[in-house]
């Protein structure tokens, strides 16, 4: 596989298993790693990409926390 995500750090936010099988997150983490990115369980100062559910995105407090964490690196 091409390393199209090389140098990126990704994290998830929200409940992705609410309407998907339990193995979904494991599969997504595998795709992320196979394409060269690092997966983090939580948003850190190294996080470059946050993948979140629509419900999580709409939560104003959570969205602000993630945005604040990502703003430290200039990502919006």
So where are the chain's domains? Answer: 9-71
Average pLDDT over residues 35-41: 94
**Contact criterion met (CB below 8 Å) for 73 and 45:** yes
Q: Is the dihedral of CA 56, 41, 15, 12 positive or negative?
A: positive
pLDDT computed for residue 76 by the predictor = 46
Q: Which two tokens stand for residue 52?
A: 């979140």
Rounded to the nearest 5 degrees, what angle is found at the Cα of 54, between the Cα atoms of 51 and 55?
Answer: 115
41-65 pLDDT per residue, tens: 888 888 888 888 888 877 765 555 6
């Amino acid at each position: 596989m091409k390393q199209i995500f090389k140098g990126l750090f990704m994290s998830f936010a929200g409940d992705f298993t609410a309407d998907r099988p339990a193995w979904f997150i494991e599969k997504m983490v595998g795709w992320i790693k196979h394409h060269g990115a690092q997966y983090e369980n939580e948003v850190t100062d190294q996080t470059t990409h946050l993948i979140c559910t629509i419900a999580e995105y709409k939560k104003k407090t959570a969205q602000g926390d993630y945005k604040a964490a990502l703003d430290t690196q200039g990502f919006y």
